[in-house]
Amino acid sequence: AQKVTQAQTEISVVEKEDVTLDCVYETRDTTYYLFWYKQPPSGELVFLIRRNSFDEQNEISGRYSWNFQKSTSSFNFTITASQVVDSAVYFCALSFYGNNRLAFGKGNQVVVIP
Amino acid sequence: EAGVAQSPRYKIIEKRQSVAFWCNPISGHATLYWYQQILGQGPKLLIQFQNNGVVDDSQLPKDRFSAERLKGVDSTLKIQPAKLEDSAVYLCASSLIQGGTDTQYFGPGTRLTVL
User: CA-to-CA distance for B91 and B47, rounded, in angstroms?
Assistant: 11
What percent of chain B is modeled with pLDDT above 90?
Answer: 82
Q: What is the mean pLDDT of residues A68-93?
A: 95
**HSE of A8, CA atoms in CB hemisphere, 13 A:** 16
Q: Is the pLDDT of residue B102 over 70?
A: yes
Q: What is the mean pLDDT of residues B17-40?
A: 95
B106 touches chain A (CB under 8 A): yes
Determine the pLDDT at residue B108. 94
Q: What is the mean pLDDT of residues B7-21?
A: 97
Q: Is the pLDDT of residue A110 over 80?
A: yes
Q: What is the mean pLDDT of residues B76-83?
A: 97
First to last CA, chain B: 37
Tell me if A47 and B44 make a contact (CB, 8 A cut-off): no
The residue in chain B having the minimum alpha-carbon distance to the alpha carbon of residue A52 is: B101
The residue in chain A having the minimum alpha-carbon distance to the alpha carbon of residue B104 is: A47
Tell me the pLDDT band of B100, cut-offs 50, 70 and 90. Answer: low
B45 touches chain A (CB under 8 A): yes
Q: Which of A28, A18, A39 is nearest to A82 (CA)?
A: A18
Q: What is the mean pLDDT of residues A77-93?
A: 96
Determine the pLDDT at residue A29. 87
User: CA-to-CA distance for A5 and A105, rounded, in angstroms?
Assistant: 5
Q: What is the mean pLDDT of residues A70-87?
A: 95
**Peptide bond before B61: cis, by omega within 30 degrees of 0?**
no
Strands (E), chain A: 3-5, 10-14, 19-21, 24-26, 32-39, 46-52, 59-61, 64-69, 74-79, 88-96, 99-104, 108-113
- Range with the lowest mean pLDDT among A8-12, A35-39, A46-50? A8-12
Tell me if B43 and A35 make a contact (CB, 8 A cut-off): no
Indicate the residue of B44, B99, B106 with minimum beta-carbon distance to A45. B106
Q: Which of A58, A53, A114, A52 is nearest to A86 (CA)?
A: A114
Q: Is the pLDDT of residue B98 over 80?
A: no
Tell me if A100 and B42 make a contact (CB, 8 A cut-off): no
Determine the pLDDT at residue A15. 97
The residue in chain A having the minimum alpha-carbon distance to the alpha carbon of residue B42 is: A106
Indicate the residue of B42, B93, B109 with minimum beta-carbon distance to A105. B42
Cα distances (Å, whole numbers) of residue A69 to A5, A23, A87, B6, B47:
15, 11, 26, 36, 31
B1 touches chain A (CB under 8 A): no
